[in-house]
A = this chain, B = another copy of it.
Amino acid sequence: MLNTETMKIEDNPSKDKWKKLCERPQLELEYLDSSVRNILARVKKSGDEALVEFTKQFDQVELAELQVTKKEIAEAIKFIPSTLKSAIETATKNIEKFHQAQKRETLEVETMPGIMCWRKSVAIDKVGIYIPGGSAPLFSTVLMLGIPAKLAGCSEVILCTPPSKEGKVNAAILYAASITGITKIFKVGGAQAIAALAYGTKSIPAVYKIFGPGNQFVTKAKQLVNQEGTAIDMPAGPSEVLVIADEFADPSFLAADLLSQAEHGADSQVVLVTNSKKIIEQTSIELNTQIEKLPRKEIARQALNNSLSILFDSEVDMMGFVNEYAPEHLIINTKNCEQLAATVINAGSIFLGSYSPESVGDYAAGTNHTLPTNGFAKAYSGVSLDSFIKYITIQKLTQQGLNNIGSAVEEMAEAEQLKAHAEAIRIRMSNPKN
């Protein structure tokens, strides 16, 4: 018998319902804003002292030293199994390969004779990476942020992550940090870590841009320091996957993919979109079987309660809905997957065919797993090498170049009633230096 609690089913929903169906579950706590503002203000005022206090309060450990020592790193790494080390190395190589390919040469264009325009890329000098603690130590995110930071050439990369009750940082996080060349690692988590990275303290240098996932406190803190001028990677929301399947897809693969998203958190959202009623039924059966084997089945079950199966007879409507939803992860498990992918305009990352589960992209295929959630894929890209770079434009005109463009500039400046702009041209043309 089908467990109807798992996923809600929609049968060819009309377009006026799409907006509502695309809404993500929201869990914002009422006191969030004021408590995060309070944390930020205290770290701004008292620096390391506040960090030690908050760590005692939230992580139940009193630290004498915030920075992880070289000795701690060396000792922790000893205990990493060699199979995990080699898996991390494989992932690292692929991530490096894909992100290295994103490098761009300096652009050089002579727009008119004597008018040279360049664009050079320069690394953001100082960046911060936040890695959450808790039950699932996200060392893969250390790779996803640390590797492009290193390739970009950021001169200072600071990592903050909350310590365990024993005052330690997970060994795999330290290993991933060390192989990406991150040496400044601090045992600070939550909104207080974001405050430290934004304002700087005696121990922790201030950075210009903060990356990384986190709970609602971290997300709110990133939003607030962003308003004050520190850049952030992107707006955040709970993780999500949308799977498109046709009758040729294997329901056991579909269920496994939906569950691998659902286990992330109770607020994760998973959506199955298909033209086959049978696929919905069979996937539901598979979900109920497979979920029982998962240690995080309670979390997954809650996530499934927020989730949807949608039947679309029309392929145009189906892709219209997908682009309206703008999923963070989009799995297209259909015979014509490449054809459908060509019509996708809003998605973070796309996984094509039967053998491309989301988990390969989460860990090791080479693409970045830091992606826009919550419909932000309509305007935002995932993290890439560019996220750690700024482009600076440069222009150099010869005297002849200025002669070629001067009258156009004067004309436009006068029309905008900015006479001094025109004068900066005239004074050079009437009184050349050489």
Chain A positions near chain B (C-beta within 8 angstroms): 83-84, 86-88, 90-91, 93-94, 97-98, 101-102, 104, 107, 109, 111-112, 115, 117, 119, 122-125, 135-140, 172, 208-209, 223, 227, 229-231, 235, 250, 252-253, 256-257, 259-260, 262-264, 290, 293-296, 300, 337-338, 341, 344-368, 374-382, 384, 386, 389-399, 401-402, 405, 407-409, 411-413, 415-425, 427-428, 431, 433-434
Contacts and interface: CB of A to CB of B under 8 A. Distances in A.
Given A365-B405, A411-B87, A433-B253, A395 B349 contact: yes
A287 B124 CA distance: 35
Contact of A124 (B109, B378, B421): B378
A379 B230 contact: yes
Q: How many copies does the complex hold?
A: 2
Given A101-B107, A102-B107, A229-B374, A300 B420 contact: yes
A416 B231 CA distance: 28
B136 A231 contact: no
Nearest to A140: B412
Contacts of A137: 415-417
Given A229-B376, A357-B425, 7 more contacts: A84-B411, A111-B366, A124-B379, A229-B375, A359-B425, A365-B397, A381-B391
Nearest to A368: B393
Contacts of A412: 84, 87-88, 91, 139-140, 363-364
Given A262-B420, A263-B418, A360 B229 contact: no
A117 B139 contact: no
A423 B259 contact: yes
Given A356-B397, A378-B208, A111 B84 contact: no
A407 B87 contact: yes
Contacts of A358: 421, 424
